[in-house]
């Protein structure tokens, strides 16, 4: 393309080497290839572009040295080679004497004797001082911090995998679920009247009731503490039902451990109310065949 005057390809994703054939585009005045992924060295053939006024090869992955042939471009007004990976000595003469049109920022391994640009006379890698060893106090801090973090991780792992402690008394669960008073339960079940009685079992009776703190009916299981083992049953049910989540197990809402109006101990478990009757009725009264009972 002998007649091509300007070639703008900046800010694309072009990669590979810059084609040597660009040196044959003798009519070029502007070659702008900045902001791509070109790699390799700068072609020395660009030095034959006698009409070139603007050359931008910045922000690529170019490496190697700056070709001395570029100093022959007598009318070159601007040369931008910033932020590449160029190294070695900067050529002198030609455009390299016109500091106003030269940009070499970001090439740390360049060197040269250009007083206008503060660059070392030798490559920087020869001027770097050996790194000083870390101070003893810094090493000590790192070691202590590492040991502390390791200990913290071990403690966290220990608490995550250890088995939960067994409760030694009823008070621990009573403190955990002590949310409803005897007075509230007494009023919600009409004084534990027979009309609200749902059923009885070995350790107590179950009543239907309502509480303001719950938006649905409740079932109150009042334990008969005169029966041997009733208090132990209270703790066991609290421990088991508080952890169990199953669609076929009635959900426990809270419990009550208090004193009734006669001054006697009172313990009760509060469940969600299930309106479909008792298991006993379904097994023995409603179901007539063995297959129906097995299905239930």
Domain 171-295, CATH homologous superfamily name and number? Phosphorylase Kinase; domain 1 (3.30.200.20)
Could you give the CA distance from residue 188 to residue 217 in angstroms, rounded to a whole number?
A: 10
d(CA 225, CA 235): 12
Please state whether 166 falls in left (phi above 0), alpha (psi between -120 and 50) or beta.
Answer: beta
Round to whole Å and give the CA distance between 167 and 171.
9
Residues in the chain with pLDDT values less than 50:
124-129, 164-176, 178
Give the model's pLDDT for residue 73.
86
22 Cβ contact partners less than 8 Å away, ≥ 6 residues apart:
7, 28, 31, 43, 45, 46, 49
Q: What's 215's DSSP letter?
A: S
Q: What is the pLDDT of residue 90?
A: 85
Q: What is the CATH number of domain 6-126?
A: 3.80.10.10
pLDDT value for 286: 66
Distance CA 237, CA 235 (A): 6
pLDDT at 170 (0 to 100): 40
Q: Which residues contact 123 (CB under 8 A, 6 or more apart)?
A: 87, 88, 109, 111
Number of helices (H), then strands (E), in the chain? 6, 15
* Residue showing tokens 């060295």: 41
- The pLDDT value recorded for residue 139 is 84
Q: Give the pLDDT score at 120.
A: 54
- The domain spans of the chain are 6-126, 171-295
């Amino acid at each position: 393309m002998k007649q091509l005057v300007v070639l703008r390809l900046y800010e694309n994703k072009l990669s590979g080497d810059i084609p040597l054939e660009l040196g044959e585009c003798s009519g070029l005045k502007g070659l702008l290839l900045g902001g791509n992924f070109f790699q390799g060295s700068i072609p020395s053939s660009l030095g034959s572009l006698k009409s070139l006024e603007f050359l931008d090869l910045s922000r690529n992955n170019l490496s190697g040295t700056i070709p001395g042939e570029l100093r022959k471009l007598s009318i070159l007004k601007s040369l931008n080679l910033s932020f590449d990976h160029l190294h070695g000595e900067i050529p002198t003469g030609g455009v390299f004497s016109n500091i106003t049109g030269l940009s070499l920022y970001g090439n740390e391994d360049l060197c040269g004797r250009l007083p206008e640009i503060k660059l070392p006379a030798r490559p920087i890698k020869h001027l770097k001082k050996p790194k000083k060893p870390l101070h003893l106090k810094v090493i000590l801090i790192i070691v202590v911090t590492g040991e502390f973090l390791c200990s913290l991780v071990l403690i966290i792992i220990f608490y995550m995998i250890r088995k939960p402690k067994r409760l030694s008394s009823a008070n621990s669960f009573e403190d955990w679920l002590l949310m409803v008073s005897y007075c509230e339960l007494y009023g919600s079940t009409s004084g534990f009247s027979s009309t609200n009685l749902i059923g009885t079992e070995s350790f107590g009776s179950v009543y239907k009731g309502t509480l303001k703190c719950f938006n649905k009916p409740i079932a109150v299981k009042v334990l008969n503490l005169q029966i041997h083992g009733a208090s132990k049953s209270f703790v066991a049910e609290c421990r088991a039902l508080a952890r169990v989540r199953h669609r076929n197990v009635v959900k426990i809402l809270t419990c009550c451990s208090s004193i009734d109006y006669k001054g006697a101990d009172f313990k009760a478990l509060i469940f969600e109310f299930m309106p479909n009757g008792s298991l006993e009725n379904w097994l023995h009264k409603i179901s007539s065949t063995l297959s129906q009972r097995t299905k239930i």
